[in-house]
């Protein structure tokens, strides 16, 4: 009696070994469920060797509002800690009293062409040219987490020419 039960159990063990284990192994190989918890972290240096060069911090494409505006705005940090905004492949329409300012990207004013009421912005200077690559120094204390949009802004008519929402580079 005892031996019969014993052999039945070992028979089941045998089936388990032959059928279930390979299935489990295949499933493990295919899905690698442990990878859900295991992270593989790497940290390779940038392809450019010199860290003395200005490093890009934030970047974004310019989108036209009141006037067609295109190009890219990027905020760089130089090795001595200074920050500047660089406009590249830049193009907008020329106009009177046009300035480059930083603003908050979620500011409702930036969804409209004309700013009405309070516009919380940081002045970077008058627009140097309506075309071409150009740099604007940032005030040392500006909070780039808060002022995360570069705006081409006509002071005279409160017109938003174009906006670049800046994302972490």
Partner 1 sequence: MVRKMKTALTLVALTFAFGLQVSVYAQDSMKHEDKTKTLETGTFHGKVHKTSGRATIYQEADGKLVLRLTNFKTSNGPDVHVILIAAKDADDDANFLNSSTERVELGSLKGNEGDQNYEIPSDTDLSKFQAVSIYCERFNANFGAAPLEKF
Q: Count the site residues for partner 1 by CB under 8 A.
A: 46
- Cα 114 from Cα 28, distance rounded (Å): 59
139 binds partner 1 (CB under 8 A): no
CA-wise closest residue to 92 among 125, 121, 109, 69: 69
Residues 93-112, one symbol each (x = binds partner 1 by CB under 8 A, - = not), give xxx-----------------
- Cα 55 from Cα 119, distance rounded (Å): 29
Of 2 and 43, nearer to partner 1 (C-beta) is 43
- Cα 70 from Cα 73, distance rounded (Å): 10
- Cα 125 from Cα 71, distance rounded (Å): 18
Least distance CB 121 / partner 1 (angstroms): 21
Of 136 and 147, nearer to partner 1 (C-beta) is 136
Least distance CB 20 / partner 1 (angstroms): 21
Q: Which of residues 23-62 bind partner 1 (CB under 8 A)?
A: 29-32, 35-36, 38-48, 50, 52-54, 56, 59, 61
> Which helix or strand (DSSP H or E) is residue 86 part of?
strand 83-91
158 binds partner 1 (CB under 8 A): no
The Cα-based distances of 109 to 3, 5, 15, 118, 137 in angstroms read 86, 81, 71, 9, 24
Contacts with partner 1 by CB under 8 A lie at 29-32, 35-36, 38-48, 50, 52-54, 56, 59, 61, 72, 74, 76, 78, 84, 86, 88-89, 93-95, 128-135, 167-169
């Amino acid at each position: 009696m005892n031996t019969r039960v014993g052999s039945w159990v070992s028979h089941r063990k045998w089936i388990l070994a032959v059928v279930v284990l390979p299935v489990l192994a295949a499933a493990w190989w295919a899905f690698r469920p442990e990878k859900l918890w295991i992270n593989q972290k790497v940290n390779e240096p940038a392809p450019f060797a010199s860290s003395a060069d200005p490093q890009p911090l934030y970047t974004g494409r310019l989108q036209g509002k009141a006037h067609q505006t295109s190009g890219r705005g990027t905020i760089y940090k130089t090795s001595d800690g200074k920050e500047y905004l660089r406009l590249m492949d830049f193009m907008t329409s020329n106009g009177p009293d046009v300035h480059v300012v930083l603003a908050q990207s979620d500011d409702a004013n930036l969804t409209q062409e004309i700013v009405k009421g309070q516009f919380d912005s940081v002045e970077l200077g008058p627009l140097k040219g309506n075309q071409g690559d150009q740099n604007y120094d940032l005030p040392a204390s500006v909070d780039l987490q808060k002022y995360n949009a570069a705006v081409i802004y006509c002071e005279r008519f409160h017109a938003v020419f174009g906006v670049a929402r800046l994302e972490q580079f």
